[in-house]
Amino acid sequence: MTESYKPSLQPWQSGEARESALRVRLNRFMGLIQRLVSNPTTVMGLAVIVSMIGIAIFAPWIAEPNFPDPYQMPRDWGAVRKPPGTPGHILGTTNVGGDVFYGVIWGSRKSLQLSLMVVGSTVVIGTIIGSLAGLLGGWVDEVLMRIVDVFLSIPELIFALAIAAVLGPSFTNIVFALSVVLWVKYARIMRAQVIQTKQNEYVDAARVIGDSKLNIYLRDILPNSITPVTVQATLDMGNVVLIGATLSFIGLSEAGIAEWGVLVSEGQAGIASGRWWASTFPGLMIFLWALAFNLVGDGLRDALDPRTEGR
């Protein structure tokens, strides 16, 4: 377009400019998506995640919500210990008449809540703490990292278990316990990334321009440091459900709620007497959930690898 070379300014020019900047950024994003979906295992993982989230969202339409609290398992005392295929209870019932199908469907909501809340809070806390340590250095870094060391010195599961046990059995306490335990990982990753990124010359270039410290952090340091955190967060979306289920399994969640770990725990007594279904179906869901996020996390790591990105 030759008009665009006119020195006079037309209002549409900036509109066009924004549009093409957007297009270039979109292209870059599409490139990332392309690299992601070129990996078949990642596509499998994505498919599983999408369907799980679909189930979680549409749970009220798939399995009629229990009244008054849909997260409580419905009890059908007339149909106790029914095997899969029983009319009305397609995946069978537990030994207290809970519908396994209902538990599997509504349990995906609980898992999604758990993962999002735990990963969300830990990423935010870890990124802030790690950034502060990496940016400020000196004694701030020293103090923060020694605190992180204390947290890291206790095995994740045992630490979470201890906290949840002290606070008493409830789903909220599991969320809290996992958040307390898992933020340190992000703090560590973020600190290392920030220390590396802040030495880049483009940070010096921004300082020479005279941009504010906050702007330099937000525009230069954070976007170039966050990639490993993204990958770790994706992997943790799966791991959190695994650990959460473990805590639920040993009874640190409310009894009788539609949560996969609780269901596995309540069903495991029946396995010896041949009633495999009450534990197996929720167990399978836990397995699929964790596997799917791990597959996507791995794919994301490959797709975001700076050696393959953007060239």
Partner 1 sequence: MSAASQLNSDRSPPGCLDSLLSVRNVRKYFPIREGALQRIVGHVRAVDGVSFDIRRGETVGLVGESGCGKTTLARCVSGLTDITGGGIYFDLPHKQAILLGQLSSPNAEGGPLPGHKQELERIDTAHRIDRLEGEAGRRFRRNCQMVFQDSFASLNPRHLVFDLVSRPLRVYREATGSELTERVVELLEQVGLGRQHLYRYPHQFSGGQRQRISIARALALNPEIIVLDEPTSALDVSVQAQILNLLNELQSQRNLAFLFVTHDLSVIHHMADRVVVMYLGKVSETGDTGELFKAPHHPYTRALMEAKPDLEDESSKYEFKGLEGTVPDPARPPRGCRFHTRCEFATESCGWEIDDIVRCLEYDPAAFETLSGVERRSDFDAVLTFDDAKSANRLAEMLRSGAVPKALQDSLSKLELRDRHVSVAFEEVDEVPLTSRGPGRAAACVLDPSVIASGRNG
Residues forming contacts to partner 1 in the complex (CB under 8 A) are 4-5, 7, 9-11, 13-14, 17, 20-21, 23-25, 28, 200-202, 204-212, 215, 219-220, 223-224, 310-311
Closest approach of partner 1 to the CB of residue 307, in Å: 12
Using the minimum distance from each CB to partner 1, give the nearer residue, 33 or 47: 33
Closest approach of partner 1 to the CB of residue 205, in Å: 5
Using the minimum distance from each CB to partner 1, give the nearer residue, 30 or 57: 30
Q: Are 59 and 109 in contact (CB under 8 A)?
A: yes
Closest approach of partner 1 to the CB of residue 213, in Å: 12
Residue 192's identity, in one-letter code, is: A
Closest approach of partner 1 to the CB of residue 127, in Å: 17
86, 187, 79: which is closest to 132 by C-alpha? 187
DSSP 3-state assignment of 7?
coil
Residue 119's identity, in one-letter code, is: V
Using the minimum distance from each CB to partner 1, give the nearer residue, 25 or 80: 25
Q: Are 164 and 174 in contact (CB under 8 A)?
A: yes
Closest approach of partner 1 to the CB of residue 202, in Å: 4
Using the minimum distance from each CB to partner 1, give the nearer residue, 197 or 280: 197
Residue 147 to residue 156: CA distance in whole angstroms: 15
Torsion of CA 280, 282, 283, 285, to 10 degrees: 120
Closest approach of partner 1 to the CB of residue 125, in Å: 24
Q: Are 260 and 191 in contact (CB under 8 A)?
A: no
Residue 309 to residue 311: CA distance in whole angstroms: 6
Expressed in angstroms, the distance from the first to the final Cα of the chain is 28
Using the minimum distance from each CB to partner 1, give the nearer residue, 60 or 207: 207
Using the minimum distance from each CB to partner 1, give the nearer residue, 143 or 158: 143
Which two structure tokens, joined as six digits, stand for 228? 């490993």
Closest approach of partner 1 to the CB of residue 27, in Å: 10
Using the minimum distance from each CB to partner 1, give the nearer residue, 9 or 166: 9
CB contact burial 129-139 (16+ within 10 A = b; e otherwise): bbbbbbbeeee
CA distance to 45, 103, 116, 248, per residue, from 37 (Å) = 10, 32, 23, 34
HEC-encoded secondary structure of 5-41: HCCCCCHHHHHHHHHHHHHHHHHHHHHHHHHHHCCHH
